[in-house]
Amino acid sequence: MPSSRRDFIRQASAIGAGTLISSTLPSSLAQQVSAQPSPTPIVIASANGLHAVVKAMEVIQTGGDALDGVVAGVNIVEDDPNDTSVGYGGLPNEDGVVELDAAVMHGPTHRGGAVAAIRSIKNPSRVARTVMERSDHVLLVGEGALRFAKTHGFKEDDLLTDKAREEWLKWKENLTTKDDWLPPHDENTQDIGGLFAPFYRNHGTIHCSAIDLKGNISCVTTTSGLAFKISGRVGDSPILGAGLFVDNEIGAAGSTGRGEANLINCSSVMIVEYMRQGKSPEDACLMACQRIVDHNRMRRLKDDRGRPNFDVKFYALNKRGEFGSASLFSVGKMAVHEGKEARLVDSAYLYKR
């Protein structure tokens, strides 16, 4: 059963949901949280990662590093033309061009790499890894990211499938004044955004985290981002601390959903810090959800009951191999593989849809 908001508030009250918590802990507590590494490998992912967790586990069980596993896992989804939220076949921007974002983090070396708004490359997660391993930078964007990828032998492809193009055309043909270009507005403005308000836009993405046979943790997040976005828009996925974060001694976290809400809350690093404080992965994810709700001040981003009119989901794994996920609205799922088989598990949530 997913946890409800009430359970969460009770459990979280000691720590103060929605408040920013310092990462500086008494070392005894930090040691206690990190002292018991998971004895067995585990892989978690967003719900579209059922095949990804199987592949990642296969790589890890044959001795691969957690990062080898999660990147091989998400490559399956990036290559899948039927997943319109990631890689090849992802829904394009408002100009009909597919632009992808991805990031990786490697726990044992605490390094990260990312690309944003990269065109024509099917596997941005592999380019993100190459940025980490073969440059002194962390994030490359747009034309520069593409040039870097080509320098390293990545081949260009047309990423726009007919299915994605037709969906884009339908969106374009039905546009009225309700698009992303907003007139001047303030906190109390409501009637803009209309049908195309954030709740109704595609925010797919895949996040995958894993612990390998050595107890090391790594993760990846990859996406084609918000459907029909303004060209050049970058979401949370390639931003370390927002779309994903790892501390090899504590755990990993990642996100899917409305990137804008996550970018202004840096939730993945917060989730890892909440886990450092001793919170379970699920409670840490719920606290990140609550923090987004607490910071959501703009009227155009609220429903009639004052709740967000968008969703965000978080996935977390701690050093002991415990995992959890949560979203603002019911009922999300996450994919899990603990060594035998892949399964979907219900996520906790703040609000019943």
Which is catalytic among the residues 205, 221, 223, 256? 205
Q: Tokens for 213?
A: 């046979």
In one-letter notation, the amino acid at residue 314 is F
Query: Are 323 and 347 spatial neighbours (Cβ–Cβ below 8 Å)?
Result: no
* Closer by beta carbon to ligand GLY, 8 or else 314: 314
* Closer by beta carbon to ligand GLY, 41 or else 235: 235
Distance CA(308)–CA(298), nearest Å, equals 9
* Closer by beta carbon to ligand GLY, 225 or else 324: 225
Q: Tokens for 212?
A: 């390998």
CB atoms within 10 A of CB 192: 16
CB of 224 to ligand GLY, least distance (A): 8
* Closer by beta carbon to ligand GLY, 30 or else 47: 47
Tell me which stretch binds ligand GLY (CB under 6 A): 128-136, 252-260, 277-285, 322-330. 252-260
Tell me which stretch binds ligand GLY (CB under 6 A): 112-120, 156-164, 235-243, 282-290. 235-243
CB of 310 to ligand GLY, least distance (A): 10
CB of 225 to ligand GLY, least distance (A): 4
What residues does 315 pair with on adjacent strands? Answer: 254, 325
Q: Convert 118-133 to b/e letters by CB count within 10 Å (16 or more is b).
A: bbbbbbbbbbbbbbbe
Intra-chain end-to-end CA distance of the chain, in Å: 15
- Figure out which of the listed residues 256, 277, 280, 325 binds ligand GLY, where binding follows CB under 6 A: 256
| 265 interacts with ligand GLY by CB under 6 A | no
In one-letter notation, the amino acid at residue 145 is A
* Closer by beta carbon to ligand GLY, 23 or else 231: 231
Which of 255, 220, 245, 272 minimizes the C-alpha distance to 102?
A: 220
Query: Are 109 and 219 spatial neighbours (Cβ–Cβ below 8 Å)?
Result: no
CB of 28 to ligand GLY, least distance (A): 36
| 267 interacts with ligand GLY by CB under 6 A | no
* Closer by beta carbon to ligand GLY, 203 or else 319: 203
Distance CA(165)–CA(85), nearest Å, equals 13
What is the x/- site pattern for ligand GLY, positions 189-228, by CB under 6 A?
A: --------------x-x-----------------x-xx--
DSSP 99: -
The question of whether 205 is a catalytic residue gets the answer yes
What is the x/- site pattern for ligand GLY, positions 15-54, by CB under 6 A?
A: ----------------------------------------
Q: Tokens for 214?
A: 């050595």
Q: Tokens for 231?
A: 């060209």
DSSP 91: -
Point out which residues bind ligand GLY (CB under 6 A).
203, 205, 223, 225-226, 235-237, 256-259
